Amino acid sequence: MAGRSSGRGVLEKALGVLDAFEGRRDGLRLAELARHSGLPVTTVRRLAADLVNRQVLERLPDRRYVVGRRLWQLGLLARVQGGLRDVALPFLQDLYEATRENVHLAVRDGLQALYLERLYGRTSVPLVSRPGGRLPLHATGVGKVLLAHAPEDVIASVVASAEKVTPYTITEPGRLLRELAEVRRRGYARTVQEMTLGTCSVAVPVLDASGAVVASIGLVLATRRDPGRHLAALRVAAAGISRTQH
């Protein structure tokens, strides 16, 4: 590993600068970019100028930096989760069509739910979830499905550190563990206002050929609507996606 420190340093710094945009898609000023990436302003200024030249970053007229078109294009070349997102998309589209609610596809990434896709229309309730984003496993429908089928040490870690996102988030260890057992038993998860006030959710597992849970799909809707009536549609879509994993 010796003798490559300069090169590896630049890649690492560049990725650090890009990581700083997580949760800050509206852009960052130079000083903010330095603070969030933990690099000196002079280093960030030089690196950012280089990344702007290569269209990896873009600089807006008000001098804020945003992630640029080239990185977006490169990112779309990824085979996310072995192509799961691509094969799932038509089924998710069917599900959106049948329900007109927010449709989510998520996988577990460590102790969080990673959202691979979100479909929604103008009548769907506004949400914080977005493709590529992460949310807590214990507070969302898809998260509870993924957590219920996670290894025991993951369940233990999440349960021990679960925090309230809203006043309704279930965090009491005994209650959360009983709920996860229930999710495994009945084959779906439901939440009411645990992540976003005014919304509820229902989610089911996506299985691979061995019957292991590899992902979860779910719907998020306004609390005045009944998520239960969409359970059949959700199960049909999950079965369709699961079949492609055989």
Q: Contact between 32 and a second copy (CB under 8 A)? A: no
Candidates 32, 58, 182, 208; binder of a second copy (CB under 8 A) is: 58
Q: Contact between 243 and a second copy (CB under 8 A)? A: no
Compute CA distances 199 → 10, 115, 128, whole Å.
44, 18, 12
* Measured distance CA(59)–CA(33) in Å, rounded: 12
Q: Contact between 91 and a second copy (CB under 8 A)? A: yes
Q: Contact between 188 and a second copy (CB under 8 A)? A: no
Q: Contact between 209 and a second copy (CB under 8 A)? A: no
Candidates 30, 32, 35, 68; binder of a second copy (CB under 8 A) is: 68
Q: Contact between 19 and a second copy (CB under 8 A)? A: yes
Candidates 54, 164, 178, 229; binder of a second copy (CB under 8 A) is: 54
Give the interface size with a second copy as a residue count (CB under 8 A): 56
User: What is the signed CA dihedral for 103, 113, 189, 239, rounded to 10 degrees?
Assistant: 60
Measured between its terminal Cα atoms, the distance across the chain in Å is 40
Residue placing its CB nearer to a second copy in the complex, 44 or 183: 44
CA atoms within 13 A on the CB side of 218: 30
Q: In angstroms, what is the minimal distance from the CB of 97 to a second copy? A: 6
Q: Contact between 46 and a second copy (CB under 8 A)? A: yes
Q: Contact between 132 and a second copy (CB under 8 A)? A: yes
CA atoms within 13 A on the CB side of 55: 6
Q: Contact between 11 and a second copy (CB under 8 A)? A: yes
HEC states along 83-138?
Answer: HHHHHHHHHHHHHHHHHCCEEEEEEEECCEEEEEEEECCCCCCCCCCCCCCEEEHH
DSSP state of 173: H
| Positions that interact with a second copy (CB under 8 A) | 4, 6-12, 14-15, 18-19, 21-22, 25-27, 46, 50-51, 54, 56, 58, 66-81, 89-91, 93-94, 96-97, 100, 119-122, 124, 130-133
